[in-house]
Amino acid sequence: MHAVEDLDVEIADGEFFSMLGPSGSGKTTVLRMLAGFERPTRGSILLGDHDATGLPPHRRDVNTVFQDYAIFPHMDVLTNVEYGLRVKRVDRRQRRRRAEEALAAVRLEGYGRRRPTQHSGGQRQRVALARALVNRPKVLLLDEPLGALDLKLRREMQLELKQIQRDVGITFVFVTHDQEEALSMSDRVAVFREGRVEQVATPVELYERPASSFVAGFVGTSNRIGGRAAQQLLGTAGEYAVRPERLRIVPAGASVAPGELTMPGKVREVVYLGPAAHAIVELNGGSTLTVSRPNTGGASEPPLEASDRLVAVALHRDSLIELSGGTEKTEEKP
């Protein structure tokens, strides 16, 4: 039993690459192997053209932003940031200048003489980032660095991280369990599940063409139609996923556009989310679908409410995503 099974991924220079997966899926183990804290039982890790597999952490040209930031509490911010240069014996003047630059890059100018304990979570996160970036590593590893921040700050830092990454042009390998975070920041995302990579793709591909039912369920929300339900509703065998925003609720028996098909059912529940509302529709036959309706403010649409009135869910055939690995059980996220 391995924490991570065979893994073959090539990450491009300057790429923002995310490893996404639920906890225990092996993504952090891969990150720690890249950093040198764990050793793969077989295979190798190439950094550029160099084999880095057996190198201890302090000999690797990669740096890490730790989940708990691991900022040295007995040093002030500037001393923290220049630590990497200090142990590499860069002379004092130069390392001070580069540390100041790194602090400026993360928008912490003038914070150098403060103690890290005086800082908020967001600032500590920036200090950790500056401390890693100052070494100009080939690759920067980030282990759920935004996990400890509150939601609003996290959104801000997502944007900022992306921007910093573009500015410095360093390859970022980013570990997260937050699919939205992975989608919004990355050039490519690897989806992990139980020590295996399910799919490596751009955010668009991941969302539009998930390779497995697990990816379809983990990245974004999706309805799964498979087995008997597929036969019944779609008239074909196989496993399909469809995004809630691709479904419409129409009056029962309404005529629809060519290529669209309708499935009769009843609205069982409505979840108001602000920008959209989700309706849980129970189809005749027992299965349920989540339908998302954007909040456009239009008065023309009938109000959504749970009732025993028969309605229909309309779906264009092109919106169906055919899944491989159909036997796997997936939780649908409402």
Partner 1 sequence: MNAPLIIDRRLKAVLRGLTGLVLLVVYVPLVLVVVNSFNVDRTFTWPPPSLTLHWWNVAAHSTGARHALLVSVEVALLATAIALVLGTSAGLALRRTRFFGRNVVSLLIILPIALPGIVTGIALNNAFRTMLGLELGFLTIVVAHATFCIVTVFNNVQARIQRLGPSLEQASADLGAGPFTTFRLVTFPMLRSALLAGGLLAFGLSFDEIVVTTFTAGPQEQTLPIWIFQNLFRPNQAPVVNVVAAVLVLISAVPIYLAQRLSGDVVSGGAAGAH
Size of the site for partner 1 (CB under 8 A): 33
Q: How many residues does the chain have?
A: 334
Tell the residue number behind the tokens 């690759």, with chain if given. Answer: 139
151 touching partner 1, by CB under 8 A: no
Distance CA 80, CA 99 (A): 9
Nearer to partner 1, 132 or 242 (CB): 132
Among 39-47, 67-75, 290-298, 304-312, the segment contacting partner 1 (CB under 8 A)? 67-75
Among residues 95, 98, 126, 131, which is the contact residue for partner 1, using CB under 8 A? 131
Among residues 121, 227, 325, 326, which is the contact residue for partner 1, using CB under 8 A? 121
**Which among 235, 324, 233 is positioned nearest to 283, based on CA atoms?**
233
Nearer to partner 1, 88 or 92 (CB): 88
Buried b (16+ CB within 10 A) or exposed e, 85-124: beeeebeeeebbebbbebbebbebeebbeeebeebeebbb
Among 23-31, 50-58, 244-252, 260-268, the segment contacting partner 1 (CB under 8 A)? 50-58
CB of 252 to partner 1, least distance (A): 51
64 touching partner 1, by CB under 8 A: yes
Among 61-69, 183-191, 253-261, 263-271, the segment contacting partner 1 (CB under 8 A)? 61-69
Nearer to partner 1, 96 or 316 (CB): 96
Do 142 and 173 contact (CB within 8 A), yes or no?
A: yes
CB of 50 to partner 1, least distance (A): 16
Phi and psi at residue 154, to the nearest 5°: -65, -45
Among residues 38, 40, 53, 66, which is the contact residue for partner 1, using CB under 8 A? 66
Nearer to partner 1, 125 or 212 (CB): 125
124 touching partner 1, by CB under 8 A: yes
Inter-CA distances, 151 with 19, 154, 169, 188, 333, Å: 20, 5, 27, 23, 20
Among residues 25, 28, 135, 290, which is the contact residue for partner 1, using CB under 8 A? 135
Q: Which residues contact 268 (CB under 8 A, 6 or more apart)?
A: 280, 281, 282, 288, 306
Among residues 10, 42, 58, 204, which is the contact residue for partner 1, using CB under 8 A? 58
Q: Which residues contact 229 (CB under 8 A, 6 or more apart)?
A: 283, 285, 287
Do 331 and 215 contact (CB within 8 A), yes or no?
A: no
Helices (H), 114-256: 121-133, 151-168, 179-185, 203-208, 213-218, 227-234
Among 83-91, 259-267, 269-277, 305-313, the segment contacting partner 1 (CB under 8 A)? 83-91
Among residues 16, 17, 83, 240, which is the contact residue for partner 1, using CB under 8 A? 83
101 touching partner 1, by CB under 8 A: no
Nearer to partner 1, 63 or 287 (CB): 63
| Structure token digits, residue 299 | 């008065």
CB of 124 to partner 1, least distance (A): 8
Inter-CA distances, 232 with 156, 253, 327, Å: 46, 18, 18
Burial class (CB in 10 A: 0-12, 13-18, 19+), 15: middle
Rule CB under 8 A: which residues touch partner 1? 35-37, 56-59, 62-64, 66-74, 83-84, 86-88, 116-117, 120-121, 124, 131-132, 135, 148
